[in-house]
Amino acid sequence: MTSPAPAAPPLVIRPLRADDPAEVAAVAALLAEAYRDMGHFDANPAYEASVVDVAGRAGRDTVLVALRGDDVVGTATVASGRSPSAEVAAGDETELRYVGVRLDVQGAGIAKALVAAAEDAARSQGSPRMVISVISWNTKAARLYEKLGYIRDDARTWWPVPTVELVVSTKEL
């Protein structure tokens, strides 16, 4: 008789411990792997520097980490419309940026939990709306945001470089 597999530790989402170099490095590595896997850096190689600048963002934005036990399994950044990290948020909107989930645990609801935590953070800051840009070929992410109540706003679609189309979606909080 075999023993049942141990249950996975519960998912915990909390702010990044910016004073912990190992945690900052783990988040940067996770983002680099997830964004490289999606082809983001092939489309715009200069983008990698901003994606992995977790320490820089942590000083001005809320960087969330998702953990299972001691393992970093996901992350998202919550940037106010006044933050240098925000690219499309206007006024009192909040922008969801740098969402990433470790490749081996994608599909387990981690991104959904990160988005919910980001929305809670935005609400607590008095923001009425969340905004996100998704690269046009990332249909998996676009479907997730649509299921979570985000509405595509084609008037705000933009191109950071000629080969990259970013589709903007918003959600009233």
Residue-wise pLDDT tens digits, 64-107: 999 999 999 999 999 999 999 999 999 999 999 999 999 999 99
* 95 in a structural domain: yes
User: Are 96 and 78 a contacting pair, CB within 8 Å?
Assistant: yes
Q: Per residue in 124-153, pLDDT tens? A: 999 999 999 999 999 999 999 999 999 999
Question: How would you class 44 by CB atoms within 10 Å of its CB: exposed for 0-12, middle for 13-18, buried for 19 or more?
Answer: middle
Residue 7 has pLDDT above 80, yes or no: no
Number of folded domains in the chain?
Answer: 1
Domain extent at residue 80: 11-127
Q: Place 170 in a pLDDT band, splitting at 50, 70 and 90.
A: very high
State the helix-helix crossing angle for 110-124 and 139-147, rounded to 10 degrees: 60
**DSSP per-residue string spanning 44-65:** -TTHHHHHT-HHHHHTTSEEEE
Mean pLDDT of the chain: 94
Q: Which tokens is 31 given?
A: 């983002």
Residue 142: inside a domain, yes or no?
A: no
Is 96 within the bounds of a domain?
yes
